[in-house]
Copies of this chain bind each other. A is one copy, B any other.
Amino acid sequence: MHAHDAKSVADLLTRHGLRRTRQRVALYQALAASKAHPTADELYRAVADDLDGISVATVYNSLEAFCKAGLINKLPPAPTTDRVFDDEGEADADTAASEVPSSGRAARYDASTHPHMHIRCLRTGRVRDVPDDLGEQLLAHLPQDVLRRLEDELGFDVRQVQVELVGESRSR
């Protein structure tokens, strides 16, 4: 969809008032390339190959900076009731080293900032996007007038409608 080569990412950073460091370019690329909404640690391991010696602090700092700049979103960790995390492998940029547990209560990051829905697997903790066509059909049916009544009655400004379909993926 978008081009995520080093140059356009660098431009993106600059445009948002961030410096174009090797670390941040690599981090944003890794995140944008993934559909799996990786954790900070997964991103750390993903870029550690190319960028020798990057530190976790930098990963967290950079992700926080991206969030503040509105470049990416942070997703809450899944509630961890019951045994929820098996963690299997999957052929994706950031889950390549399919052996490390990457246990449960870590936040996940999302490079797409336009409104969309997520599905979260109870077994693996993985988060995927709902395809836009389906998501839009679902969101479009939320009656705006009810939302507005809610804002009036509760004195609450709704900035974002977070919809998450929680369940279990069938295969495997």
Contacts and interface: CB of A to CB of B under 8 A. Distances in A.
Given A134-B153, A143-B137, A163-B161, A79 B68 contact: no
A75 interface: yes
Interface in A90-146: 107, 119, 121-122, 128, 130-131, 134, 137-138, 141-143, 146
B166 A163 contact: no
B74 A77 contact: no
Interface in A39-60: none
Nearest to A121: B156
B134 A138 contact: no
Nearest to A75: B79
Number of contact residues on A: which range applies?
Answer: 35 or more
Nearest to A80: B74
Interface of A: 64, 67-68, 73-82, 107, 119, 121-122, 128, 130-131, 134, 137-138, 141-143, 146-147, 149-150, 153-171
Given A134-B153, A158-B166, 14 more contacts: A74-B79, A75-B79, A76-B76, A119-B156, A119-B158, A134-B146, A138-B142, A141-B141, A150-B165, A154-B169, A156-B165, A156-B168, A158-B167, A160-B165
26 contacts: A64-B81, A67-B82, A74-B80, A76-B78, A76-B79, A79-B107, A122-B159, A128-B154, A130-B154, A134-B153, A137-B143, A137-B146, A138-B143, A141-B142, A155-B169, A155-B170, A156-B167, A156-B168, A156-B169, A157-B169, A157-B170, A159-B167, A160-B166, A161-B166, A162-B163, A163-B163
